[in-house]
Amino acid sequence: MRSARPCRSTTRTRSGSRSFGTGRADAHVRRPRTPRWSTSSPRGRLRAMEDSTIFRERAQNLWGSFARKMDPVAQATSIDPGPDFDLGRIGGLEGPKEEIQTYACAATSPEVYGRWGTYPPSALLLIGRRGVGKTLLARALASLTDTAFITVAVPQLVIEVIHRGGQVAELLSGWSQTLAEMPPVTLLFEELEFSQAREIGERRQDLPIGPVMDLLLDLVDRTIAVEGSLVVGSTSHPETLRHAFLQPKRFERVVEVMPLFPQDIVAALDVHAAEAEKRAGHALFETIDWKRVVDHHREPSTGDWVRIVHAVLRRKARDEAGGEAPPPVTSEEIIAEVQRFMRTSDRLTVPSGNYL
């Protein structure tokens, strides 16, 4: 297990995010995950690595066993037992990244909260349009705290439970038991405003909202109650999110994830282009004037921009497969793809791309 990282912000830039709290009645101090041995010695580092491997295998095995018993869990959740995703791989979003670093203290340096007369937030809610990086922020939290990362696709879980029926009691008891036996985890409830989700058809009026809310609130409460868990929720529809999620001891810290235009988009594209070249093992782009590329197009989300760049790269791959020797990507080629994207978006409602 990696040693705990410093509990402080590494960014000073202000962003367009707004944060606010809903309050909390009492403190809940989380157990620190900092190992008791010294990682400065070879023996300590070896033991930390061995324990990290054991924790990851245990998390994978326990959640996998639970999923095999419960079809809704198998269909609607995924686990990454050892996420390796640094906040630096997220372009822009300095304000939300600071919030993630602050919440990480609940696992890495919980005693710091007490020294300032406060306590960790019970859970964090990320709000913002699709494709702006909410899931990446949650994954970075898991990596920062050296915890397994579980993603719950809430709309899909709702549909699976409704269609299969009769498994709610088993789901709830198994959920609590499994999380209690696992090493500390970061768990993301993705798209809490399930009735508005595109994945199951927007504005689903046929869903039994009352029973579904009872189930989701029970799952959230049970997850927060597990010592050492870090709980994150997200939604692209905060305007219709039910206030029950924001009650004390639930998602009491709310963070708006809203990339600043154009600087955060440019920063994200810089990061993404560099990672594409790293995967390819050679240069893929000429010197791109990203600001000129994005300047007149506020509509695409960060995920849309990533998808636009991929479209250009795929065209280059097709040319190479046809026996050509395509030159590096130019600003003009990306601008042309942006124009194609905007034309199709005007004619068809396209879900925002994922910010990978």
Q: What are the tens digits of pLDDT across the range 122-140? A: 999 999 999 999 999 999 9
- The pLDDT assigned to 261 comes to 93
φ, ψ dihedrals at 270, nearest 5°? -60, -45
Q: Are 17 and 93 in contact (CB under 8 A)?
A: yes
Nearest to 179 by CA among 117, 131, 224, 236: 224
- Same structural domain, 267 and 124: no
Last residue of a domain, which of 215, 235, 256? 256
The 10s digit of each residue's pLDDT in 237-258 is 999 999 999 999 999 999 999 9
Q: Is 356 among the domain residues?
A: no
The DSSP output letter for 231 is: E
Q: Is 3 among the domain residues?
A: no
Q: Which two tokens stand for residue 102?
A: 């602050």
- Same structural domain, 274 and 190: no
Q: Are 268 and 275 in contact (CB under 8 A)?
A: no
- Same structural domain, 184 and 288: no
Phi-psi region of 92 (alpha: psi -120 to 50; beta: other; left: phi over 0): left
- Same structural domain, 120 and 204: yes
- Same structural domain, 179 and 308: no
Residue 168: C-alpha distances to residues 64, 160, 252 (Å): 18, 11, 26
Supply the DSSP string of 256-267, one letter for each residue: E----TTHHHHH
- State the greatest distance between any 2 C-alpha atoms of the chain, in Å, as a whole number: 67
Give the Cα separation of 269 and 273 in Å (integer): 6
CATH code for the domain of 88:
3.40.50.300
The 10s digit of each residue's pLDDT in 43-94 is 444 445 568 889 999 999 999 999 999 999 999 999 999 999 999 999 999 9
- Same structural domain, 194 and 320: no
Last residue of a domain, which of 230, 256, 282? 256
Give the Cα separation of 271 and 316 in Å (integer): 20
φ, ψ dihedrals at 162, nearest 5°? -65, -45
Write out the residue range of the structural domain in which residue 331 sits: 263-347
- Same structural domain, 248 and 288: no
Q: Is 101 among the domain residues?
A: yes
Q: Is 172 exposed, middle or buried (0-12, 13-18, 19+ CB in 10 A)?
A: middle
Q: Is 165 among the domain residues?
A: yes
Nearest to 299 by CA among 348, 356, 261: 261
Q: Is 6 among the domain residues?
A: no
pLDDT tens, residue order, the chain (356 aa): 444 444 644 443 333 443 434 443 343 434 333 332 233 444 444 445 568 889 999 999 999 999 999 999 999 999 999 999 999 999 999 999 999 999 999 888 888 999 999 988 999 999 999 999 999 999 999 999 999 999 999 999 998 998 877 689 999 999 999 999 999 999 999 999 987 766 555 555 666 788 889 999 999 999 999 998 999 999 999 999 999 999 999 999 999 999 999 999 999 999 999 999 999 999 999 999 999 999 878 889 999 999 999 999 999 999 999 999 999 999 999 999 999 999 888 776 545 555 44
- Same structural domain, 78 and 59: yes
Q: Which two tokens stand for residue 208?
A: 């039994």
Phi-psi region of 252 (alpha: psi -120 to 50; beta: other; left: phi over 0): alpha
- Same structural domain, 82 and 53: yes
Q: Which two tokens stand for residue 90?
A: 């997220």
For the chain, the domain total comes to 2
Residue 309: C-alpha distances to residues 285, 312, 316 (Å): 10, 5, 11
Q: Are 217 and 173 in contact (CB under 8 A)?
A: no
**Taking the model in full, what pTM does it have?**
0.80
Q: Is 4 among the domain residues?
A: no
Q: Is 354 among the domain residues?
A: no
Nearest to 103 by CA among 82, 85, 120, 81: 120
- The pLDDT assigned to 180 comes to 96
Q: Which two tokens stand for residue 149?
A: 């990362």
- Same structural domain, 184 and 222: yes
Name residue 233's beta-bridge partners: 125, 189
- Same structural domain, 160 and 90: yes
- Same structural domain, 188 and 56: yes
**What residue type is assigned to position 275 of the chain?**
E
Give the Cα separation of 295 and 261 in Å (integer): 8
Last residue of a domain, which of 256, 282, 302? 256
Q: Is 171 among the domain residues?
A: yes
